[in-house]
Structure 1
Amino acid sequence: MLSTHVGNSKIKRMMACASASLLLAVSPLGGVASAQTAAVPTLTVPDFTAVVDKTEGSVVNIRTTESVPVRNPAMGPNGNDPYDMFRWFFGPDFVPPGMPGPRQRNTPTPTPQEKERTVPRGVGSGFIISSDGYILTNNHVVAKSNGIFVTMTSGKEYKAKIIGTDARTDVALLKIDAKDLPPLPIGDSNKLKKGQWVLAIGSPFGLDSTVTSGIVSAINRDTGDYLPFIQTDVAVNPGNSGGPLIDLAGQVVGVNSQIISQSGGFMGISLAIPIDEVMRVVEQLKAHGKVTRGRIGVQIGPVSDEVGKAIGLAKAEGAMVSNVEQGGPADDAGIRSGDVITRFDGKAITHMTDLPRIVGATKPGKRVPMEVWRKGKTVTLQIKVGDMPAAESETDTEEPQAPKTAPVDALGLKVSPVSEAVRSKQKITGGVQVTEVQEPAATAGLAPGDIILTVNDTDVTGPDQYAKLVAGLDKSRAAAVLVMRGDQSQWVTITPGK
């Protein structure tokens, strides 16, 4: 019987309706079936206590310190000698009141020494990966610190040293002087599925040993960084960084690293680094204290559906080469601007971001096969992977100059020959240079100075041959045009005008 009393009536109605829905079911004939014949699905929420008991002792709190300058009271507000202004007016021999004896000319004014003091920098999380004291955390937790302190769940604290860090993957490997520690077992992040339950243990806002739970929201989430992330709805907040993401088997499947937030707090989306990627980094950090990655010397972009169809790809997959570094591994292997890299060392390149991850994981000096889509067919090349440097220099571009001679074509372009100086600098043998842009090329983004290298599957050798190519284009479909701007190349699609 439903209560209609004021105050708790709504709550009682909800509870009663819920109870009724569990006890009664509508029969196919419109009647009411008994509770014995109704098939009511049973939903169960997992009990996390056993997983927490098994893993909590392996998660640690990490606090860091840093040095900050302390202004000497004898110094001015800007850190300078407060009497410098007087010496500027009265000369270098000016003696401040109370200072004994005249200063000797050309004797430099003694500058009070700036002091430093150590202050707390931040709090993060980490977890034990070996019984002899190796601990994993995020690079951003320990970066720019002068002291790292690891606190166990028992309250015992250790001073840690950095074995190695990798900013690109945001991984740091620490070591403490301890034995017989309980390491967390390492799982397999490749086996994760959407909807799977996971836990996070860490120190959000400095609150040690905090457990939160949720599900895997997405896998291989591309955020533009070097790694694909595991996306979850597990509550992760500042201080959780570096802590483990744990499955129901009690194994680490990720390292909590980032949150997507407009307020700085948890908003339902958190990102973790897949543990498989992390452990590959750890192996190198243990052995060398740094990470060595492969490189091939190309700049790449995505393949759009429109461009993929225009150049004959069955699917809009792969990495479009927009620029090839002169003298680099790709240049030596024969890679050209406009090629689409579809496989590298036997691994498919589905998305553009797959290529840097696969190349980066390849040992420098190794020679591997690479498949590219070029002029409507697959070409297999052999490439020797290079070593990724700390920084790469930018190449200056030459400002193109060309006369405006040719008429506007069906693509809305006027073109002229490419000068020998530009061909030599850009390492190209053909092409035409754009001197004027009208519709439809203007809508496609072309600009004077661009160099057209290829139209559909045909390389451009000069203005006359280019004019014939454009005149023969099918005006009912878009043409794929490979355009070089500076040292970058990109496929664009242009539908010829009527």
Structure 2
Amino acid sequence: MNLSLKQLATYASLLVIGSGVGLLGGQYLLKPQRSSENLSTFPTVVKPLSNPAEQSSATAAAAPNNSNFIAAAVERVGPAVVRIDAARKIVNDVPDAFQNPIFRKFFGGELPVPKERVERGTGSGFILSGDGRLLTNAHVVAGTNRVEVTLKDGRTFEGEVLGSDSVTDVAVVKINAKGLPSVQLGRSDNLIPGQWAIAIGNPLGLDNTVTAGIISATGRSSSQVGVPDKRVSFIQTDAAINPGNSGGPLLNDRGEVIGINTAIRADAQGLGFAIPIETAKRVAEQLFAKGKVEHPYLGVQMVDLTPALRKEINQDTDANLKVNQDQGVLVVRVFDSSPADKAGIQQGDIIQKINGKQVRTSSDVQLRVESSSIGAPLQLEVNRNGQVLAVQVKPAPYPANANS
């Protein structure tokens, strides 16, 4: 028996693997400002210098007439950051009330004509290669397959949206040009809080705006950021990110791209979030090659156990569920006919390991599933009523109706 929505809300916020739970939470806000190649040619990562002081001074020295490493990084990367102007048609449908026979009688059977309007907006992006391959956010180009791309030097190109992935909020665009400036990709998997972070973008239409701060945290789950329908482990930064920054690069102190600026906390200042560049690169490679991304899907909802949550669940007589651990990843729902359902995963199971590696949080499970292959068996170790069981699950492609 599945827990009710009311019970789920009582226990904790759910992280969904294979099923969205709606759009953004009320106190969070993504900032979409709407007013047959692969990436094998991505630049290689520069080996870091021995210490930050040596690194910063060397970077600054490499760029004449700049007084610090931030200015040096911006001078190198700025020309590869673009403005993306997008437009989409919005149709206001006739309200259902107008279909009422009484309404039609009094208005002579004539119904209002649906109105169409054009919604325009501006976002950011950056050039991956000299032949015009660009990376941005999916929400920046949502609803259109053509955009206008403006370079820092003022040149304007028509861009074709080659692919967009709403699950990770990554999109790729191609413009017909040669010899363009391009960014250099770094790494985000070795970031630690306190390191420098530099953001470049077009906030509020102010092109090539630069802000700087630090890496505030790493590994923020989608549910923590307020976008539980996404599959991203976000970088948090206090570098100022504003409407229009979406899709722009987040840089380290060497001027390497470590993320895509994507979301902010609507009710706070200094809380910005970026998609790690490893995730963006992996998704972009598939989008350039196939125009779409297939995400592995299990079909479960999970919650992280705590002693308080365990006590609350066990005291709820309506839950029909008893938990015997204070830690672990508790399965609170299994979707019908999903891979997890077919494999025999049950509500109340506590996931302990995947392919022999321990998982402690829902985010751990999410990352392991996302990095797996569709159809390739995953070996799960679960605790069911105190008994440890081995279960084999074969992830399926993320279904198109998973958010319903």
TM-score by length of 1: 0.57
Q: Separation in 1 of the partners of 2:116 and 2:301?
A: 44
Q: Separation in 1 of the partners of 2:347 and 2:116?
A: 53
User: Which of 245, 269, 272 is the matching residue for 2:250?
Assistant: 245
Cα deviation 1:185-236 (Å, max 9, x = unaligned): 1111111110000100000111111111000111112241332211111011
| Structure 1 position 161, deviation (Å) | 0.7
Q: Report the AA paired with residue 285 of structure 1.
A: L
Distance 1:312 1:150, change over 3 A: same
Greater Cα shift, 139-148 or 48-57: 139-148
| Structure 1 position 293, deviation (Å) | 1.2
1:258 aligned to 2:263?
A: yes
User: Which of 285, 288, 298 is the matching residue for 1:286?
Assistant: 288
Report SS of the residue matched to 1:220.
strand
Map of 1:178 onto structure 2 = 177
| Structure 1 position 115, deviation (Å) | 8.8
1:189 aligned to 2:199?
A: no
Q: Report the AA paired with residue 127 of structure 1.
A: F
Greater Cα shift, 384-393 or 145-154: 384-393
Report SS of the residue matched to 1:129.
strand
Map of 1:337 onto structure 2 = 347
Q: Is the 8 A contact 2:238 2:271 kept in 1?
A: yes
1:387 aligned to 2:397?
A: yes
Q: Separation in 2 of the partners of 1:52 and 1:370?
A: 46
Structure 2: give runs of 5+ residues left out of the alignment.
1-56, 58-66, 93-97, 99-103, 312-321
1:316 aligned to 2:327?
A: yes
Q: Report the AA paired with residue 331 of structure 2.
A: V
Q: Separation in 2 of the partners of 1:311 and 1:53?
A: 56
User: Which of 301, 304, 307 is the matching residue for 2:303?
Assistant: 301
Q: Separation in 2 of the partners of 1:115 and 1:160?
A: 28
Map of 1:50 onto structure 2 = 72
| Structure 1 position 112, deviation (Å) | 12
| Structure 1 position 364, deviation (Å) | 1.3
| Structure 1 position 237, deviation (Å) | 0.7
Q: Separation in 2 of the partners of 1:124 and 1:363?
A: 32
1:204 aligned to 2:209?
A: no
| Structure 1 position 296, deviation (Å) | 2.0
Structure 1: give runs of 5+ residues left out of the alignment.
1-43, 71-77, 79-83, 93-108, 395-498
Distance 1:130 1:327, change over 3 A: same
Q: Is the 8 A contact 1:60 1:150 kept in 2?
A: yes
Q: Is the 8 A contact 1:294 1:360 kept in 2?
A: yes
Q: Is the 8 A contact 2:145 2:160 kept in 1?
A: no
Q: How does 1:45-444 map to 2 (within 5 A)?
A: 47-67=69-89, 88=108, 119=118, 121-145=120-144, 147-224=146-223, 225=228, 226-262=231-267, 267-306=269-308, 313=325, 316-317=327-328, 319-392=329-402
Q: Is the 8 A contact 1:66 1:146 kept in 2?
A: no
Report SS of the residue matched to 1:168.
coil
Q: Is the 8 A contact 1:59 1:152 kept in 2?
A: yes
Of all paired residues, the percent bearing the same amino acid is: 41
Cα deviation 1:449-496 (Å, max 9, x = unaligned): xxxxxxxxxxxxxxxxxxxxxxxxxxxxxxxxxxxxxxxxxxxxxxxx
| Structure 1 position 87, deviation (Å) | 9.1
Report SS of the residue matched to 1:186.
coil
Q: Is the 8 A contact 1:294 1:387 kept in 2?
A: yes
Q: Separation in 2 of the partners of 1:146 and 1:115?
A: 22
Q: Is the 8 A contact 1:65 1:146 kept in 2?
A: no
Q: Separation in 1 of the partners of 2:222 and 2:258?
A: 19
Distance 1:146 1:385, change over 3 A: closer
| Structure 1 position 248, deviation (Å) | 0.9
Aligned residues: 313
| Structure 1 position 146, deviation (Å) | 6.2
Q: Separation in 2 of the partners of 1:393 and 1:219?
A: 27
Distance 1:120 1:367, change over 3 A: closer
Distance 1:372 1:168, change over 3 A: same
| Structure 1 position 308, deviation (Å) | 6.2
Q: Separation in 2 of the partners of 1:87 and 1:316?
A: 63
| Structure 1 position 353, deviation (Å) | 2.8
Q: Separation in 1 of the partners of 2:354 and 2:278?
A: 20
TM-score by length of 2: 0.70
| Structure 1 position 46, deviation (Å) | 5.3
CA RMSD after TM alignment: 3.2
| Structure 1 position 343, deviation (Å) | 1.9
Report SS of the residue matched to 2:288.
helix
Distance 1:375 1:223, change over 3 A: same
Q: Separation in 2 of the partners of 1:144 and 1:332?
A: 35
Greater Cα shift, 168-177 or 354-363: 354-363
Q: Separation in 1 of the partners of 2:272 and 2:80?
A: 22
Q: Separation in 1 of the partners of 2:355 and 2:68?
A: 42
Report SS of the residue matched to 1:381.
strand
Q: Separation in 2 of the partners of 1:296 and 1:381?
A: 12
Q: How does 1:447-466 map to 2 (within 5 A)?
A: none
Distance 1:343 1:87, change over 3 A: closer
Report SS of the residue matched to 1:358.
helix
Q: Answer 1 or 2: higher relative contact order, Cα 8 Å, separation at least 6.
A: 2
Cα deviation 1:152-187 (Å, max 9, x = unaligned): 111000001111111121111111111122221111
Map of 2:17 onto structure 1 = none
Q: Report the AA paired with residue 389 of structure 2.
A: V
